[in-house]
Structure 1
């Protein structure tokens, strides 16, 4: 999905949305449980068209956990 706002202000990446759901997409990126990973890296991948999933069990980054509401 292309964003008219992103085009108008000439963003390099697309805006992303973060929302809560119980549905997990099969091909989505997700950290492995108990393994640390940077939430910002996943959000960057999302801005390039990937789907990223976060859960309390797979988000070890304390700052990321706080920012995502875990």
Structure 2
């Protein structure tokens, strides 16, 4: 199942600094319970796959010389 726009924004923000709580806030989720929301998102298999794909893309881009 594809990510919804807010989940994709969370993934994009998470890839910047690997801080789930801050990524949740920057993605527009409520600050109340941000830590719980980050945990919920990071345990979602679709979000996990998107994070891994993003990390691989970043690693590949960094490896290009």
**TM-score bracket relative to the smaller structure:** under 0.3
Q: TM-score if structure 1 supplies the norm length?
A: 0.23
Q: In proportion to residue count, which structure has more helix?
A: 2
Q: Report which of the two structures shows the higher radius of gyration computed on alpha carbons.
A: 1
